[in-house]
Amino acid sequence: MTTPSGTPAHTHHPLPSYLQADHLGPWGIYLQQVDRVTPYLGHLARWVETLKRPKRMLVVDVPIELDNGTIAHFEGYRVQHNLSRGPGKGGVRFHQDVTLSEVMALSAWMSIKNAAVNVPYGGAKGGIRVDPKKLSRGELERLTRRYTSEIGLLIGPSKDIPAPDVNTNGQIMSWMMDTYSMNTGATATGVVTGKPIDLGGSLGRVEATGRGVFTVGVEAAKRTGLAIAGAKVAVQGFGNVGGIAGKLFAEAGAKVVAVQDHTGTIFKSDGLDVPALLAHVKQHGGVGGFAGAETMANDEFWGVQCDILIPAALEGQITKDNAARITAKLVIEGANGPTTPEADDILADKGVLVLPDVIANAGGVTVSYFEWVQDFSSFFWSEDEINARLVRIMQEAFDGVWQVAQQHKVTLRTATFIVACQRILHAREMRGLYP
């Protein structure tokens, strides 16, 4: 088979078994998203199979001695999905449900996200299958250090740069940075982002994902005539992403009427006191037990009357079983992969505008990029400068994606994938196949 230009077309081999769609699991969802965009890729479609196979995947055994003297083994992963545009970049997740297939999908979404906001990175992700809440601080440190050492084969400031994700934070990044530095014999601040300020972290990084969610929300509201002041907002997950986004929406005059997390669902029709709720979450680890609200059954959350819904927890939350009940006009995906393709179609049919993860939550990695640049140059920027640059990148990226969506009459998710896949596959094509 040849292409019109006379070069042989890509030969299609079936995907290896471990890459095949795990039905509605995250990797299967990602493969469907790629299939949806392929018709819009023109001659670059020749390279699309690249996106269906992570470049490199490492599964590691992470043994640690527990405080009670026994030895425990945990499964760790680092997946580099695509490195065509630059080094790997993406967070590390500690969660009891982490699987290789989930990390593959998360790494692929990082490739798309990094290309969508045009930061010079490929996509990567890591994780450990562990419930970190069950570990002591010492156990958590030993786990983090051993994992970092095991994935030392892949990571490095110009190779692959981890960052925080679900259940990881500045302390864990500090241990990762220290372990890598000890193993290589030189302090390497640029090996991870999301570090504390004193260790080469960036101002604004902690708030960046939530700020990005808010920024694209404001852009979408402008274009659809939705007033933020007075808008009712429901948020799932009140951590680093949902908590900050909720705070910024509340400061802009919106009412956060419902919040759900792993500790329960709370509701207040005239708006929760967000600063008080953030203080409660900091102290108690979740929204459960917050005095200034009523509680509701977890499943009722999806039917709450609201204008803006922000899923900011885990994947696969908005499904064919609850999408029809959603009353919001705008869904802003703070989480990675919260909406299944079937739910996407239901929401599109209802006229609900979905701001997809691969652009909506890209603020975090954008400021990670700033952190990495500052570490390399050993010159640090002011918070105002960082926030201004973040907002500009998010606005420009959103504007570009909005235009592509109008031009092709597609959803913002497909439009974001079009923009991102074109950038990745163009780089792939220009670099050519080695050897």
Interface residues with ligand GLU (CB under 6 A) are 89-91, 163, 165, 193, 336, 361, 364-365, 368
Closer CB to ligand GLU, residue 84 or residue 240?
A: 240
Closer CB to ligand GLU, residue 266 or residue 358?
A: 358
- Closest to 266 (Cα-Cα) out of 243, 292, 241: 292
Using CA atoms, how far apart are residues 184 and 347, in angstroms rounded to an integer? 49
Cis previous bond, 435, omega within 30: yes
The CB-of-238 to ligand GLU minimum distance in angstroms stands at: 17
For 88, phi then psi, to 5°, come to -65, 145
Closer CB to ligand GLU, residue 91 or residue 243?
A: 91
The residue with its CB nearest to ligand GLU is 91
The CB-of-366 to ligand GLU minimum distance in angstroms stands at: 8
Closer CB to ligand GLU, residue 117 or residue 318?
A: 117
Using CA atoms, how far apart are residues 203 and 196, in angstroms rounded to an integer? 9
Closer CB to ligand GLU, residue 31 or residue 206?
A: 206
Angle 205-224/383-408 helices, nearest 10 degrees? 40
Catalytic residue among 113, 125, 232, 247: 125
Using CA atoms, how far apart are residues 219 and 405, in angstroms rounded to an integer? 14
The CB-of-268 to ligand GLU minimum distance in angstroms stands at: 30
The CB-of-164 to ligand GLU minimum distance in angstroms stands at: 6
Using CA atoms, how far apart are residues 416 and 273, in angstroms rounded to an integer? 34
Residue pair 326/318 in contact by the 8 Å Cβ criterion: yes
- Determine whether 125 is an active site residue: yes
Find the distance separating the first CA and the last CA of the chain, reported in whole Å. Answer: 21
The CB-of-30 to ligand GLU minimum distance in angstroms stands at: 14
Closer CB to ligand GLU, residue 89 or residue 211?
A: 89
The CB-of-193 to ligand GLU minimum distance in angstroms stands at: 5
The CB-of-272 to ligand GLU minimum distance in angstroms stands at: 26
Closer CB to ligand GLU, residue 47 or residue 370?
A: 370
- Closest to 246 (Cα-Cα) out of 221, 226, 228, 264: 228
Closer CB to ligand GLU, residue 160 or residue 219?
A: 160
The CB-of-70 to ligand GLU minimum distance in angstroms stands at: 32
Q: Which residues are catalytic?
A: 125
